[in-house]
Structure 1
């Protein structure tokens, strides 16, 4: 079996016609062959949405939550509603087409398609996950970077699509290059009025005593599927959980901090702007063991 696979959907949304009448729901294609049209608006404009679903020992993790978020992002872009059932089958087909791996992922992408065509393009790409063991065990170095928006941007300027998972990721990639220039691994975005937001592709989590806190979703932050599962795990361990508005200084005051995401899982923050900070090794290990072992 191959190390990666791609599945192309014939009808990503029931609100739009299929690409080929009477054809199968999806097709398993050669990963190395060209499949996307050069005039697809996902290519020319970044006009589309995506999700990345992790798999642990062959089991999809938070699949329903990811597909719900895909639909929410699609609504924000006025894209046709994704066919959740078709997408779920495509994700599972893509994952089952690759070599078994302890950790893998499937990236789902839905674009607006060709301009004026009215049929979205959709595919699911599966691959073994990168090795994130070092980030999970040793921690990561982050820098604080101004996002350039106030914390209430989602309310004041909803057309900026804050909190939606779109293909427009040029800024997310640019901040990682800036982090590397500053001898760091990742970033924590800060609002222009001084509040902690999220990482480049992750949610921020802080621990104060027996309470885990993450920035509130009313601040233009993408709702985290992994963060949601982690909160549920924390409550099962007797911890309190909270969504809050956090001033920048709270990162230095926290007992521990993490960036959490679907594939890397929980990466403890060990340095902020060049200043070392404490890492909660035991809780980090417990969290990652739980996240990797999820069966749904």
Structure 2
């Protein structure tokens, strides 16, 4: 079952819509141009995880795109309506979506979608994943030189990301880690890259530089906070492919899948640590409770 709740001005708590019937105009710019933004979060036992972080990132994406969106309290009310309308479930995927609206109308289209998660996320975090390194085609400084590319915003224009995943699956892999044209590790199509190293008893958790054009990960941010409290050292790259192969463990991290251990890169096996995965997953869950 999928629940849709539109953020209409004349419905304080959102307008519940029939998900089995068409709801968007064919001329909506989210459909015709992919002109919009979104966030995806996990709700556990009716409570959204990292809600404030997702709302903050949604607002940042909107600012980058000169897109006017409803304020945070309106989203919170609509999310509460969507969760109340959905049959009780341990876990639900909650998506926040905004488009620039029907062309010429000047009013954005905004809605919340709540639905059950698929099975692939749980399977991948339990069994691990095989990834390919794919060149994104930009160097690591392009985000600063060309902000109109929106590399740090979470936009609806995900055609390239989905094409990369399809390519990986045709090659027998599960996922992708993008690299820059100057050899820096960036991110996954729908995830953040994390590596762990343990040297002389010192545990270090590292993620790529945000300035290299990666989307700031809400899961990475939540994990870094609790990991620091637990004694982990933290780092922000820059990372190169050899760092992945030399690490004690590598993960792709996202709000729904949580921590998916990488077990091979370009067909070459790398270490997988169940102990570190369990420790960091527990810290991520702890840090995800707003």
The answer to whether the 8 Å contact 2:129/2:262 transfers is yes
User: Which residue is 1:105 aligned to?
Assistant: 93
User: Which residue is 2:64 aligned to?
Assistant: 76
Q: Where in structure 2 are the equivalents of 1:142-221 lying within 5 Å?
A: 142-209=131-198, 210-221=203-214
Give the Cα–Cα distance (whole angstroms) in 2 for the partners of residues 65 and 24 of structure 1: 23
Give the Cα–Cα distance (whole angstroms) in 2 for the partners of residues 203 and 82 of structure 1: 27
Match status 1:125 vs 2:119: no
Counterpart among 260, 271, 294 of residue 264 in structure 2: 271
> TM-score of the superposition, structure 2-length normalised?
0.94
1:41-81 Cα shifts (integer Å, max 9, x gaps): 00000000000011122221110110111011011111114
Give the Cα–Cα distance (whole angstroms) in 2 for the partners of residues 180 and 285 of structure 1: 27
Shift of 1:153: 1.1
The answer to whether the 8 Å contact 2:13/2:77 transfers is no
Aligned positions, number: 284
Give the Cα–Cα distance (whole angstroms) in 1 for the partners of residues 260 and 12 of structure 2: 41
Gaps of 5+ in 1: 12-21
Shift of 1:4: 2.1
Give the Cα–Cα distance (whole angstroms) in 1 for the partners of residues 46 and 40 of structure 2: 15
The answer to whether the 8 Å contact 2:197/2:248 transfers is yes
Gaps of 5+ in 2: none
User: Which residue is 1:18 aligned to?
Assistant: none
Give the Cα–Cα distance (whole angstroms) in 1 for the partners of residues 226 and 171 of structure 2: 34
CA-based RMSD of the aligned residues comes to 1.4
Instruction: Give secondary structure in 2 for the equivalent of 1:249.
Output: helix
User: Which residue is 1:59 aligned to?
Assistant: 47
Shift of 1:25: 4.6
Give the Cα–Cα distance (whole angstroms) in 1 for the partners of residues 117 and 226 of structure 2: 23
User: Which residue is 1:295 aligned to?
Assistant: 289
Match status 1:114 vs 2:102: yes
Give the Cα–Cα distance (whole angstroms) in 1 for the partners of residues 209 and 83 of structure 2: 33
Taking a change above 3 Å as real, the CA distance of residues 289 and 103 of structure 1, as seen in their structure-2 partners, is: farther
- Of 124-133 and 176-185, more deviation after overlay is shown by 124-133
Shift of 1:84: 1.1
Shift of 1:208: 1.7
Match status 1:140 vs 2:129: yes
Write out the 4+ residue segments of structure 1 that deviate beyond 6 Å after TM superposition.
none
The answer to whether the 8 Å contact 1:53/1:66 transfers is yes
> TM-score of the superposition, structure 1-length normalised?
0.92
Instruction: Give secondary structure in 2 for the equivalent of 1:149.
Output: coil
- Of 25-34 and 171-180, more deviation after overlay is shown by 25-34
The answer to whether the 8 Å contact 1:75/1:81 transfers is no
